[in-house]
């Protein structure tokens, strides 16, 4: 099959621990990818379109373009737990001293000892921290930086951590702050060690109709090429690693039960072009799994984007991600 357009989508490690986890599900349930709207779905589902899939299996490296000496985030979290435990220990110890009855005092003193054991455990975690080796600092990607009005500067990863901890730090402090996010990693401070492990050929579009949808909505979706799936049928669908499909969603699908002719033809084209080695992939329906995944660079993104795979040398591949048209 002639490849007219190709896209790339990332498989989330939080939903699928490994490539095999996702590939196994795709071989049984097929693929169903939610897209923003019917127009995007139509573009992705056009004849001659291939969607490549990537996964990092939880592996990453620090972003080289924003690396610096950082406060260890794991130890920072541990220190917050430690502060709470020490406050709890002080309260319980004072209560034990003030207790008038032996039974009450013994119970409180046992509580003090339990807290002391937890404090020792947290201290041990900090001393044996794998990220910083107990030093409290490490060389890592900052994700960018944030300068406050008083010229105090934080790394962007620290800023985003505290931004989601309003009990510790007020989000109002962000007002007036100068925020510079690293373009390379998108503020993550790290880059996934991604691998393209296969592709699928979209076989259709499905719209999960809401119970309250007017008939005009259903007809409009049908006219745009979508198959209507009733919301009531969702309860019979198998749960996927990424969860269940939602009413009102537009999905591009690929079947696990098709004859795989288009997938095989596309694979043959990639082999002919020298992109994939012969006998280095297996086909299940509309999905093709690479037996030797191809490493790629660049930050992970949500959704789906235009993507081109080009052979630069015998043992080198270049991946380029473009914006969705």
pLDDT digits over 188-210, tens only?
999 999 999 999 999 999 999 99
Residue reference for tokens 């691998």: 195
What letter does residue 72 receive in the DSSP assignment? -
pLDDT of the residue at 321: 30
pLDDT of the residue at 71: 85
Q: How far is 163 from 181, CA to CA, in rounded Å?
A: 15
pLDDT of the residue at 317: 33
Token pair recorded at residue 284: 């299940």
pLDDT tens digits, residue range 203-233?
A: 999 999 999 999 999 999 999 999 999 999 9
Average pLDDT, the chain: 89
Residue 316 has pLDDT above 70, yes or no: no
Task: Say which range, 13-27, 45-59, 152-166, has the weakest mean pLDDT.
Answer: 152-166
pLDDT tens digits, residue range 101-156?
A: 999 999 999 999 999 999 999 999 999 999 899 999 999 999 999 998 766 888 99
Beta strands in the chain (DSSP E): 5-10, 31-35, 49-55, 60-62, 67-71, 137-141, 144-147, 153-155, 178-181, 190-192, 194-200, 204-209, 226-230, 250-254, 281-284, 287-296, 304-313, 316-322
Instruction: For residues 25-33, give the mean pLDDT.
Output: 96
pLDDT of the residue at 273: 86
pLDDT tens digits, residue range 241-283?
A: 999 999 999 999 999 999 999 999 999 999 998 888 889 999 9
Instruction: For residues 288-315, give the mean pLDDT.
Output: 78
pLDDT tens digits, residue range 64-93?
A: 999 999 889 899 889 989 999 999 999 999
Q: How far is 142 from 167, CA to CA, in rounded Å?
A: 23
Length of the chain: 325
Task: Say which range, 26-30, 174-178, 186-190, has the weakest mean pLDDT.
Answer: 174-178
* Contact of 72 with 129, CB cutoff 8 Å: yes
pLDDT of the residue at 319: 32
Residue 313 has pLDDT above 60, yes or no: no
pLDDT of the residue at 28: 95
Coil, helix or strand at residue 263: helix
At residue 54 the predicted structure's pLDDT band, cuts being 50, 70 and 90, is very high
At residue 180 the predicted structure's pLDDT band, cuts being 50, 70 and 90, is very high
Provide the β-strand partners of residue 192: 60
pLDDT of the residue at 325: 36
């Amino acid at each position: 099959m002639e490849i007219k357009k190709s896209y790339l989508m990332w498989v989330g490690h939080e939903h699928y621990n490994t490539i095999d986890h996702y590939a196994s599900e795709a071989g049984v349930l097929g693929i169903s990818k939610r897209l923003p709207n019917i127009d995007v779905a139509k573009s992705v589902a056009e004849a001659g379109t291939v969607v490549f899939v990537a996964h990092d299996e939880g592996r990453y490296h620090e972003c080289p373009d924003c690396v610096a000496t950082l406060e260890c985030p794991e130890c920072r979290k541990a220190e917050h737990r430690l502060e709470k435990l020490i406050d709890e220990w002080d309260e319980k110890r004072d209560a034990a001293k003030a207790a008038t009855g032996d039974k009450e005092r013994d119970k409180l003193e046992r509580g003090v000892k339990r807290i002391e054991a937890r404090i020792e455990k947290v201290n041990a975690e900090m001393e044996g921290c794998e990220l910083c080796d107990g030093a409290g600092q490490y060389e890592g990607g900052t994700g960018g930086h944030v300068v406050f009005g008083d010229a105090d500067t934080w790394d962007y990863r620290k800023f985003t951590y505290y931004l989601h901890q309003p009990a510790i730090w007020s989000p109002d402090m962000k007002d007036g702050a100068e925020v510079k996010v690293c373009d390379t990693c998108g503020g993550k401070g790290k880059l996934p060690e991604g691998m393209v492990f296969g592709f699928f050929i979209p076989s259709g579009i499905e719209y999960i109709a809401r119970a309250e949808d007017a008939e005009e909505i259903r007809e409009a979706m049908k006219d745009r090429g979508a198959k209507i799936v009733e919301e009531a049928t969702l309860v019979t669908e198998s749960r996927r690693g990424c969860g269940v499909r939602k009413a009102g969603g537009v999905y591009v699908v690929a079947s696990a039960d098709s004859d795989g002719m288009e997938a095989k033809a596309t694979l043959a084209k990639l082999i002919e072009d020298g992109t994939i080695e012969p006998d280095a992939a297996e086909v299940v329906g509309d999905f093709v799994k690479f037996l030797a995944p191809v490493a790629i660079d660049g930050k992970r993104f949500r959704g789906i984007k235009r993507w081109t795979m080009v052979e630069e040398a015998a043992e080198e591949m270049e991946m380029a991600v473009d914006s969705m048209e």
